[in-house]
Structure 1
Amino acid sequence: MELRHLRYFLALAETLNFTRAAQRVHVTQSTLSHQIRQLEEEVGRPLFAREGKKVLITETGQAFLEHVVPILRQVDRAVGALKESPDELRGELRIAATHSFNVQLIPLCLSRFMQRLPRVKVAVEELSGDGISEGLVSGRLDLGVSYRPAVPRGLRFEPLYNEELKLIVANDHPLAGRKRLRMVELNGTRMTLLAPHFSTRQMLDECFAAAGAQPQIVAELNAISPMIELVRRTDLCGIVAENALGNEPGVLAIPLESPTPIRTPGLLWSQQAHRSPASRFMAETIRQVVKQSSWGR
């Protein structure tokens, strides 16, 4: 079975007329009839019924049609994407990332993307991991940069690298001089962390439990930026990915061990939605930036 057989079949299924179908695919009527017979022999059942001058699609043909249409659409989109050069791509790309990636990674990727695809408008949102998953499932987003969702919900996750979370303290904090800390040493320490419903917080709670530590959580926030600011202005400690700090002044990052909290960021997209050429190009741009930079090293 070849691609032309499917195109001939679709033309006849839509017109139910050999003459018009042959004209649509630019072949003679006899050639079309021969190709349809070949397809029916391979399928093992008749796809069309001939009643005099009438052509009717059979029940098998109707079932076959339902599979053929999406296959041909996908092939046509793929061929179109190959023919269209980056400079000609237009439209809008909707992406979202959690805070730690929106500080440095996404702006760097955007600068490269916009140089190559200047006619594509990019809309970027900073959302929680759950918000990104919901946006992809609903079709409001094309691509996400986040952590692996606890519930896949029809999403594809592609790991990018392993990310180490570190303790952050103000420059004048008593722990500021430490080169490394064991998690158990945070027992009783005054801290600010993400709220319990965040997957990162749940992972940190598991690390504390494994180390036998019970820190004193005095502030729970739903975003990284205010947590960093709170650490800078108080005696509280926090735990974030170092990439989330950017060039924040007055805050230090200290590695943690026993256990070391590690998360795996990655690309997220819907398995059901069509991935546009712009979305694929952005994903490849992110892969290249991560590979060429210090992220995750």
Structure 2
Amino acid sequence: MELRHLRYFLAVAETLNFTRAADKVHVTQSTLSHQIRQLEEELGQELFARVGKRVVTTEAGQTFYEQVVPILRKIDQAVGSLKEVPHDLRGELRIAATHSFNVQLIPLCLSVFIQRFPLIKVVVEELSGDRISEELINGNLDLGISYRPSVPRGLRFEPLYNEELKLITANDHPLADRKRVRMVELNGLRMTLLTTLFSTRQMLDECFAAAGARPQIVAELNAISPMIELVRRTDLCSIVADNALKDEPSVRIIPLENPTPVRTPGLLWAQQADRPAASRFMAETIRQLVMQGQAGADKTSRKHSPGISST
């Protein structure tokens, strides 16, 4: 077993997609599949299984994943500690993020980054996913934090993690006390959602169709904050990611299933452009903080049984 086998395994476990994982570790899909088979033969365990068109982690694969993550983290930290970091790095870093990440993740990453590199001026914009892609291609941005673009168009996408989208309601809504809601139960439900121009809305429409549900879309908005406020003040429901909610009073969060809507956030940059040092260091800061956050979330989920949470 070699280090590359562990990195290939981790890429598949985090993306649950061999094509995306191959892109992430910069090998062909056939090479990645062959390496995973070698690893499974050496371990004598099947790490992944196919359920229809989906790739899922087996019980053995999940156990192996929990052991591999801290090992690779320590290796990366050891390698990183040997690299010289130019603390006197200067210049300007131009990044953009969608609203979901601009609420919590970006301020957290900036607080760490500007302490480490105080001479770099960071310019942050909140843009839609399509605008981020356009600005990266046009050379107006160095780094983007968004969801996987439907058409890469010369962009490199590095997945960070998978996130569930969940139903939100006011505290007095009939569904507020539910532990879980099936997508089919949203049929006829009064809702507010993003407009159809957003890739997230398009993905939700596909989930509705797969479940045979036709919710009553009363209001379409192009921003999440007013959508959450509308849910708080009315009988409307919505579907958002946890990271879009920050200390939101009078809102209940309920997991969805059959199917569970899932998005893949990640880092975006222009494939052909030379990446400035500041962009690389910011990307590394984001990776580390996301990994820490995911590890903390995993610990919390193991301590508490699933249920309704409120913010």
1:292 aligns with: 292
Percent identity (aligned): 80
Alpha-carbon shift at residue 87 of structure 1 (Å): 1.9
1:144 aligns with: 144
Task: State the AA in 2 paired with 1:237.
Answer: C
2:222 aligns with: 222
Alpha-carbon shift at residue 172 of structure 1 (Å): 1.5
CA–CA distance in structure 1, aligned partners of residues 269 and 250 of structure 2: 37
Note if 1:179 corresponds to 2:154.
no
3-state SS of paired residue (2:87): helix
Task: State the AA in 2 paired with 1:217.
Answer: I
3-state SS of paired residue (1:200): helix
Alpha-carbon shift at residue 158 of structure 1 (Å): 0.2
Change in Cα spacing, 1:83 to 1:167, as seen in structure 2 (3 Å) is: closer
Runs of at least 5 residues in structure 2 that lack an aligned partner in the other structure: 1-81, 299-311
Can you list the C-alpha shifts for 1:118-158, whole angstroms capped at 9, x where unaligned? 00000111111001101101111110000110111110000
Give runs of aligned pairs for residues 243-282 of structure 1, distance below 5 A.
Answer: 243-282=243-282
TM-score in terms of structure 2 length: 0.67
Runs of at least 5 residues in structure 1 that lack an aligned partner in the other structure: 1-81
2:79 aligns with: none
Task: State the AA in 1 paired with 2:178.
Answer: R
3-state SS of paired residue (1:88): coil
TM-score in terms of structure 1 length: 0.70
1:208 aligns with: 208
CA–CA distance in structure 1, aligned partners of residues 112 and 259 of structure 2: 37
2:109 aligns with: 109
Alpha-carbon shift at residue 88 of structure 1 (Å): 1.1
Note if 1:168 corresponds to 2:205.
no
Task: State the AA in 2 paired with 1:204.
Answer: L
Aligned length: 216
Q: Give the root-mean-square deviation of aligned CA atoms.
A: 1.6
Task: State the AA in 2 paired with 1:136.
Answer: L
Change in Cα spacing, 1:83 to 1:169, as seen in structure 2 (3 Å) is: closer
Alpha-carbon shift at residue 85 of structure 1 (Å): 4.3
> Which runs of at least 4 in structure 1 moved beyond 6 Å after TM superposition?
none
1:100 aligns with: 100
Alpha-carbon shift at residue 274 of structure 1 (Å): 1.2
CA–CA distance in structure 2, aligned partners of residues 140 and 89 of structure 1: 20
- The answer to whether the 8 A contact 1:98-1:128 is kept is yes
Max Rg structure: 1
3-state SS of paired residue (1:293): helix
CA–CA distance in structure 2, aligned partners of residues 240 and 252 of structure 1: 11
Note if 1:231 corresponds to 2:214.
no
Note if 1:191 corresponds to 2:191.
yes
Give runs of aligned pairs for residues 60-99 of structure 1, distance below 5 A.
Answer: 85-99=85-99
Alpha-carbon shift at residue 294 of structure 1 (Å): 3.3
